Amino acid sequence: MVALLSWLFNGAHPSNDSLEPSRLYSQILQEAQQHPHPIAARLAELISNSGNAWPPKASHAESWPLALRPFNDVYQRIAPLLPVHESSLDDAENRILINRTRTMMEAFLEEQISIPDVSETLEECMNGEEIMPMGAWLGFYSCLASLRHAYRWAVLPVVREAQNENSLHFPRQLDLPWPYIQQRIGITSPGGSLSSNSYYNLDDQRQIVYSITSGMSKDHYRTELWNGLLFVEVEDKALPMYRYMSQACRSIERNDIPSTISALQKASDQLKITFKHFYDEMNDYNLVPALWLPYCQGFQGWTLDGINGVSGGQNILIRTLDSFLGIRPFPTDQEESLHLPLAQRNWLNSLRKFDIRAVANEKGDAEVVNQLDRMVSQLRLWRMGHMRKMQRYQIHRPERNKMTAGKSLVKDESVSDDTAMVDHLKQMLSVRLGQTK
């Protein structure tokens, strides 16, 4: 595996033609106008609907209408009450703690949130960007999702007494704004997502806005930070690749095969840079194995009414690669709309609909198919290496039932068997390669 990963990362150095983010955004938007193509349009839309940036750039309380700002204050008041250094193993004691935290949260919400003002303000915000720009909506989504997850779990590390709840009645202050967020962002989940809890939960200095390790050690905070920051920084590296993918699709449609191959080669080189950054930064210093599962993964779960929580699989890099390379099965529309904002889904669906591999096969462009297969191989090796690396983070926690944030409670031991998951990925991606040769 070490030798294979060495091959994967060989030549993974910053490209000479890398652009400053603002210039890259401008060029992507400009290309969408000057060279109209559905995929270029969706990539431009991804940026414009993500705070005019990618990775997304959310703005927080200072950019919201006055009636919404108290939600931020409530979260900052409740945050220090969530984490504990030692979890109780007594279910009855934990029930008392959960109820006490929720009661305090309800009191804070009643004290600070004006339901009529919030309702009137949100109605106004739905009618115009000038009242609440998209970046502000992203930040508000992050805040509300953090509040709902805080109410759902009430104590960290997560305990089985909360996990065993099948449904939960939320305070009206947390329920009223949620349909507005769902409509504006384009999601259906009652809880947070990788976007709300990671992409949108960082300030301009890329520090956490809605922390879940308030008052804990530096190691706790650093682990929490990198739990989200890693996904954000990977998108920094991936955006040039998305642009090359868009260029490749436009070029092959125009029968410009040399330009198609050149764009795919650049995309492959950028993918190496992206994967190397992820692999290098996913280390025991940034993400302390003993702290990640109890203080990060648990809070991202949901497990209410059959709905799953946040998953690393919701990151756009991997879904973009699957969509572009034609790795199936694709998630259903219903599954993706739970957690992925509309602009992200539109981008992914544009790649799936175009299906560059099918176009290349139809045209008989073997070199284009070969370039795509190289990227499939990179993805397979990265996934296998990632699964093995994650084994260090799967630790036993006596206060909780076994749970993955993205798949809820684990009832079948095979679900968490890393070897079985690696074997499944090998088989799935080998089939994809076999279909193209």
State the binding site.
386
Interacting residues of 313 by C-beta distance below 8 A, sequence separation 6+: 319, 406
Are 177 and 119 within 8 A, CB to CB? no
* Angle in degrees, CA 209, 297, 50, rounded to 5: 45
Give the count of beta carbons closer than 10 Å to the beta carbon of residue 413: 9
Give the count of beta carbons closer than 10 Å to the beta carbon of residue 255: 10
* Angle in degrees, CA 287, 143, 83, rounded to 5: 50
Sign, CA dihedral 181-186-192-194, equals negative
Partners of 112 in beta bridges = none
Binding-site annotation: residue ranges for heme b: 386
Q: Output the six-digit token pair for 93.
A: 């004691």
> Cα separation of 154 and 95, whole Å?
10
* Angle in degrees, CA 203, 207, 210, rounded to 5: 80
The string of DSSP codes covering 350-385 is HHHHH-HHHHHHHHT-HHHHHHHHHHHHHHHHHHHH
